[in-house]
Structure 1
Amino acid sequence: MKKIIVIISMIILNSAYSQVGINTQNPRGIFHIDGNKNNPSTGDPSASQQKDDFIVLSSGNVGIGTATPGRKLEINSGGTAGNPIDGFRLTDGRQAKNKALISDENGSAHWEYIALKSYKGNIADGFDLSLNNSSYNFNSSDLSTGFYATTSYIDLAPGNWQVNISLLLAYDNISGTSTLTRDDWFWTRVTLTDAPVSAKGSGPYTPTADLDETKFLGNIFNGPAPTGGVPKYAMINGALMLNNSSSNTKRYYIIIGGVTRSSAGLPGRLKNVGGMWGENVISAFAVQ
C-alpha cells in the first residue's frame, strides 16, 4: 500500500512540473499552443511557424506569435516596416482614432487623446527693484551677485523641462522729480534658483546649475517715461530649459536683477517685479 501511495505521489509531482502542449508534441514552454499545428516534432519552430503560437514560459513570460518572449507579454504580429500589422486591440468604450494608451497613477491603461500637459507654478510676492541700487548690477564673471528673490516658484519632478515665464515690468518714479529720458535704458534679467528662499527681496542668489544653455530671460526698457507714480510697462517673455537630474522634486524660485544700465544713477524702480500682476505666469512642460 505504501509503495502504491509513493508511486501515485511521484506521478502527481511529475505531472505538476510537466510541459503541456496543445496541437504540438514538442512544447517549448510550460504551456504551448500551436494554433495551426505546424511546428516541428523536435527543435525550435521557425519564425513563420511561431506566428500562430501562444506560449507561457517558466519565467512567467507570455508570448503571442513568438516562442521566446523576453517580457511578461510579448506580441509578434508578423508585420514589417514595409507591411505593418496591428498586434493589439483594446476595446474599452473610449477607443477612437488618434488616441494613445495612457496609464493612470496605478498603471491601469485606457485610451485618451494625446495632450501636452502643462504644470503651473505659483506667483506670489515680488519686490521693488530700485534702478540706482548697484546691488542689482549684472556681473557676467560672478553670477552669485545681482539676483534677488521673489517668492514665486514652480515645483518640478526629476527630468527635462521647458519652463515658460511671463513677467510684467512696471516702471515708475514715485519721487516725481526726475524720470527716464529718451536716451535712458536698462536691461533686466530673470532666471531661476533652487536655493531655499527666505523672503521676497532677499539675496543675492545664484542661478541653478540645472539650467541648460540659456541662463536668463531679459528685456530692454527704454525711456522716456512719465514722472511721478504713473507707470510705464514692458514684458519679459520666454522659456528656460532645465534638467532636474536629482531623484526628488525640486522647487525653483524666480530671481530677478542682473541689471545693465545706460547710466549708474537712473531714477525710479520696477514695482513689485515678479509679484502678483495679472500678466505674470510661470509654467512648465516635460520634454524628452
Structure 2
Amino acid sequence: MKKTILLFVVLLSANMGFSQVGINTKYPQGVFHIDPLGNNNKSGVPTVAEMADDVIVDSNGNIGLGVISTKAKVDIKTSGTATNPVSGFILNDGNQATTKVLISDANGNATWKYPKQQGAVFGTFGTTTGVLVSNDWSLTGTYSGQTLVARPSNGNIRTGAQIILPTGRWWVKVSLYIAALVNGSTGEQVWVRTTLADATSNLGPSADLESSFTLASGLIWKNPGGVVVGSFLLNNKTASAKTYTLLVGGIDNTVPSTVTNTVFRTGMSGSSENTFIAFRISQ
C-alpha cells in the first residue's frame, strides 16, 4: 500500500513539474490534452484530421474542441464546410425550437428566443372577388355569382385577409376598400367596423388587442363605396408566431338612419387601396 501511494505521488509530482497533462497522448499540446481516439502523431503537432476528436485546455485557459490553436475561450471546430455545415453546439434548455436564435440579456445569460423581426410584416388578402357583406345583417342571396351569407346579429365575417406575426407587440395598419355591389341611393352612408381576430372560429376581437384599440371604423358611401382606414395595437404573448384575420361587420345605418339595403364587396386581393401592414414596437 505504501509503495502504491509513493508511486502515485511520484507520478503526480512528475506531471506537475512538467505542467502538461496528456490523456491518451504522450505529447500534450496544452496544459490539459485529451486524445480520445489515441490517433495523434508519436511526436510533434497533430494533423488536422488527428486533432478532430481532441479536447485541449491551453495556457491561456482557452478550451479547444477539435482544434489545438484556440482563438477564444471556447473554440469549436467540426468537419463541416460552407456547403455541408456540421453543428458543433447543442443547447437543450427547454426553450429550443425551430427558427429560434440564441439571445442574451445584459449579463450575458443566454437562451433560445425568436429573433426580433425588423421592418414591416405584410399581410395578404384573399381572392380577387373578395366577400360580400350588407348593411342588413339578415340579408342573404346571390349577387354577381357570389353568395351573401347572413351575419349573426350584425356580427362580423372574415374578409379573407390575414397576417402572421411573431411574438411581440405590433402596430398594425389597415386600409380596407369596400365597394358597393348593389348600389343604394346617392348621399346615403353606413358606418362600418373592422377588427382583428385569431385564426380560429372566433369572430370577435382577438384577446391580443391592447387597451381599447379593438376597432378600426369609418363612414362608407352606399354609392359607390369607400375605404376604412385604421390601426391596432396587438401583443402576441405566445412563444410562436400567430395568424390573425381581418373581420368586417357591425354596420350601422347613419345617413339617413334608415337607408335602403345595399350589398358591398370587400377584401379583394386586387384592390390597390387595400393594405395590411404590421410594425414591431417592442419584444
Normalising by the smaller structure, the TM-score range is: 0.5 to 0.7
- Given candidates 204, 207, 211, the residue that maps to 1:206 is 204
TM-score, normalization by structure 1: 0.52
Deviation readout 1:26-62 (Å, 9 max, x if unpaired): xxxxxxxxxxxxxxxxxxxxxxxxxxxxxx8899xxx
| 1:287 match | 281
| 2:122 match | 120
Unaligned runs of 5+ in 1: 18-55, 60-71, 74-103, 109-114, 139-144, 198-203, 226-231
| 1:270 match | 264
SS of 1:211 mapped into structure 2: coil
- Given candidates 234, 237, 245, the residue that maps to 2:229 is 237
Structure of higher RCO (CA pairs closer than 8 Å, 6+ residues apart): 1
Amino acid at match of 2:9: V
Q: Tell me the distance in 2 between the aligned counterparts of 1:106 and 1:249.
A: 14
Q: Tell me the distance in 2 between the aligned counterparts of 1:16 and 1:261.
A: 88
Q: Tell me the distance in 1 between the aligned counterparts of 2:14 and 2:263.
A: 91
| 2:12 match | 9
Amino acid at match of 2:275: V
Shift of 1:5: 6.4
Structure 1 residue 131 and structure 2 residue 130: aligned?
no
| 2:185 match | 180
Structure 1 residue 215 and structure 2 residue 220: aligned?
no
Q: Tell me the distance in 2 between the aligned counterparts of 1:159 and 1:281.
A: 21
Q: Root-mean-square deviation (CA), in Å? A: 3.8
Q: How many residues of Structure 1 are paired with residues of Structure 2 in the alignment?
A: 179
TM-score, normalization by structure 2: 0.53
- Given candidates 157, 162, 171, the residue that maps to 1:153 is 162
Amino acid at match of 2:262: G
Shift of 1:181: 4.0
Unaligned runs of 5+ in 2: 22-59, 64-72, 75-98, 104-116, 139-149
Q: Tell me the distance in 2 between the aligned counterparts of 1:240 and 1:12.
A: 69
Amino acid at match of 2:208: D
Q: Tell me the distance in 2 between the aligned counterparts of 1:57 and 1:173.
A: 79
| 2:174 match | 165
CA contact (8 A) 2:197 2:247 kept: yes
| 1:259 match | 251
CA contact (8 A) 2:168 2:237 kept: yes
Amino acid at match of 1:9: L
CA contact (8 A) 2:137 2:151 kept: yes
| 1:66 match | none
Q: 1:133 to 1:107 in 2, by over 3 A?
A: closer
